Amino acid sequence: MVTETIHLMQQHASVRNFTTEKIPADILKQIIEAGRAASTWKNFQSYSIINVSAEATKQKIFDLQPQKSIIGASNFLVFVGDLNRAVIATEQHTDRFYPEGVENLLIASVDASLAAQNTLLAAESLGYGGVFVGLIRDQASELSDLLDLPDYTFPLFGVALGVPAKRNDVKPRLPYETVVFDGSYQVQSVSIISDYDQVQRGYAGSRRLANDWSERVAAQFGVPPQTATLENLQAKKLMAKED
């Protein structure tokens, strides 16, 4: 059975081109409140959302990370992993605070991601569109300065929201049985990768991307990760500095 909600979710496609129409403030608030209703680790809500609507600030973010969705969006929501409220709460009870480490990063990152996805879905249910912009992490420190992010916080990604000027086709996912396994994990053969490269070529059609899907994977994981995220996490006291 396909409900209206399932249909909406299956129709998702990122929108990167927007009209100049703005999302009314009361509707945006409703959208974000729907996002904030997502599940959250122990109800800690370890994230914050910076709503960037001022053109000058959007321009400054675009100058750091030139993606047209940032400048074209009605609202660019920066999702921030946030243990700053946690330090305030913890200090009520103990003078010890251990914000550093992978587990805390996962808690904040998962919470923020669930809220962000719910926010995008709520926006889509009203006919708006949007896209995640994770590459803002390449300029994590500069963005933190621009948005006055305090200790124990870090920018995760933006979600550009607005009225779609152009909609993309729904992007085919990997085949169900290559991702969803019955009972135990099944390591995949190289053929599923080449088959999916083929599928992606078909999807991209005339605006075929320069690289195959597997080449884009290699461009990400075949080189060492960028260091901007780690450096910013160290500066914000969320990761220990290596000796």
Residue 70 contacts ligand FMN per CB under 6 A = no
Residue 57 contacts ligand FMN per CB under 6 A = no
Site size toward ligand FMN (CB under 6 A) is 13
Distance between CA atoms of residues 45 and 111, nearest Å: 6
Q: Least CB distance from residue 15 to ligand FMN, whole Å?
A: 8
Spatial CA neighbour of 236 closest among 157, 154, 155: 154
Structure tokens at 22: 């703005």
Q: Least CB distance from residue 186 to ligand FMN, whole Å?
A: 23
21 neighbors 162 (Cβ within 8 angstroms): yes
Residue 12 contacts ligand FMN per CB under 6 A = yes
Residue 202 contacts ligand FMN per CB under 6 A = no
Helix, strand and coil percent figures for the chain, each rounded to 5: 50, 15, 35
Q: Which of 24, 66, 101, 134 binds ligand FMN (CB under 6 A)?
A: 134
Binding mask 90-129 for ligand FMN (x = CB under 6 A): ----------------------------------------
Task: Determine whether 148 is exposed, middle or buried from the number of CB atoms within 10 Å of its CB (0-12, 13-18, 19+).
Answer: exposed
> Residue 37 carries which side chain, given as an amino acid letter?
A
Residue 13 contacts ligand FMN per CB under 6 A = yes
Interface residues with ligand FMN (CB under 6 A) are 12-14, 16, 67, 131-135, 157, 168, 171
